[in-house]
Amino acid sequence: VFQGRILARRLVGQETRYEVEVKTPYRHRFPLVPWEYMWVPNTCGCPPLREGGEYLLMARRHVNYERTLNRILLQDDGYARPWTPREDRLVWEAARHC
């Protein structure tokens, strides 16, 4: 779970790749660097992430069977909401209980 700002969007094959500036990592089981590529397994624009927008994102790390691909993947059941101070407060409160 992290707060990120969408810097760019690009369609690559049947997927969408977002360039994301990682603003605040809340909870992560793998290291995040200040700029990451986040992949969405469709090209329909779902979820609707606009360039320049800040979002609270819950993505997962995807490593393929051969271990040749290691990326951040925002799946259909992932969480992507516009970032607000209220969302920030809710995430920090939930982190105390988890």
Residue 38 in this model has a pLDDT that exceeds 90:
yes
What CATH number is attached to the domain comprising 52?
2.40.50.120
Digit-coded pLDDT (tens) for 56-77: 998 888 877 776 678 889 988 7
CB 19 within 8 A of CB 4: no
Strands 2-12 and 54-58: antiparallel
CB 39 within 8 A of CB 72: yes
How many structural domains is the chain composed of? 1
> Percentage of residues in the chain with pLDDT exceeding 70?
93
CB 14 within 8 A of CB 43: yes
Q: Which residue has the tokens 């992932």?
A: 78
Digit-coded pLDDT (tens) for 14-33: 999 999 999 988 877 778 88
The DSSP symbol for 29 reads S
The per-residue pLDDT for 61 is 86
Candidate ranges 33-47, 54-68, 76-90; pick with highest mean pLDDT: 33-47
- pTM, entire model: 0.83
The per-residue pLDDT for 29 is 74
The per-residue pLDDT for 27 is 73
Full domain range(s) for residue 12: 2-96
Residue 1 in this model has a pLDDT that exceeds 70:
yes
